[in-house]
């Protein structure tokens, strides 16, 4: 099993998927990426999740994010399951599902947890930036479906903070005030953040989101 930490390069792999063979790094190109795993095809919670992701495709596209799912079942099984997802979730699956029958990708990303099941993947999520660095990892239990609004919120934060000297506070949403990072001296704030700032404490300075007009 691999041990992946934030900031590590996301392991590359080549695998078959519902949309043909994928070399992960080449497929990502200059995009951000979301890789998320599912315990198995034809499982109820996973069916709702993939339907939700399909419905959020435009939101991911707007953020230059490519999404790819993974299950330990094969391509033929994926295609059959996709028909069920489209029918029951009133959508069209518009992203690839990796067929990881040999569990090589699952083991590369430590997606199989013996405490849960020694054969099936848990609900892992990896957000990867255009330099192929892992920026977020979340693991959900099999009984709990993921909140894709939260993943979009995190992507908004990651993209904002990658290019501006801010961090995002608790429960932040796009458009909300941001925290000026501690490395910025107070006397340098006016030049960097012309919208102004509020000093709550010397270590807690708030400023409007800098990339909004």
Catalytic residues: 46
Instruction: Give 37's strand partners.
Output: 70
φ, ψ of residue 118 to 5 degrees: the values are -85, 5
Q: Which residues, at least 6 apart from 58, have a Cβ–Cβ distance to it below 8 Å?
A: none
Ramachandran class of 207: left when φ > 0, alpha when ψ lies in -120 to 50, beta otherwise: beta
Tokens standing for residue 155: 């992507």
DSSP 3-state assignment of 57? helix
Residue 6 CA: distances (Å) to CA of 98, 113, 127, 135, 201: 23, 19, 10, 6, 29
Residue 207 CA: distances (Å) to CA of 106, 155, 162, 181, 203: 41, 20, 16, 10, 13
d(C-alpha 209, C-alpha 186), whole Å = 17
Instruction: Give 71's strand partners.
Output: 99
DSSP 17: B
């Amino acid at each position: 099993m691999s041990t992946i930490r934030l900031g590590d390069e996301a392991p590359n792999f080549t695998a078959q998927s519902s949309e043909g063979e994928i070399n992960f790094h080449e497929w990502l190109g200059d995009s951000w990426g979301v890789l998320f795993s599912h315990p198995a095809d034809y499982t109820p919670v996973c069916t709702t999740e993939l339907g939700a992701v399909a419905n959020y495709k435009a939101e991911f596209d707007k953020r230059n994010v490519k999404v790819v799912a993974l299950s330990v079942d094969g391509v033929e099984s994926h295609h059959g399951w996709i028909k069920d997802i489209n029918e029951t979730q009133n959508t069209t699956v518009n992203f690839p599902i990796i067929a990881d029958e040999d569990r090589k990708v699952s083991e590369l990303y430590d997606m199989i947890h013996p405490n849960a099941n020694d054969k099936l993947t848990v609900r892992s999520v990896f957000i990867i930036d255009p330099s192929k660095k892992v920026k977020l990892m979340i693991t959900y239990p099999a009984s709990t479906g993921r909140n894709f609004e939260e993943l979009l919120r995190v992507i908004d934060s990651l993209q904002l903070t990658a290019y501006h000297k801010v961090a995002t506070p608790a429960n932040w949403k796009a458009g909300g005030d941001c925290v000026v990072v501690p490395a910025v001296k107070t006397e340098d704030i006016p030049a960097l953040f012309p919208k102004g700032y509020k000093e709550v404490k010397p270590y807690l300075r708030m400023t409007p989101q800098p990339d909004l007009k």
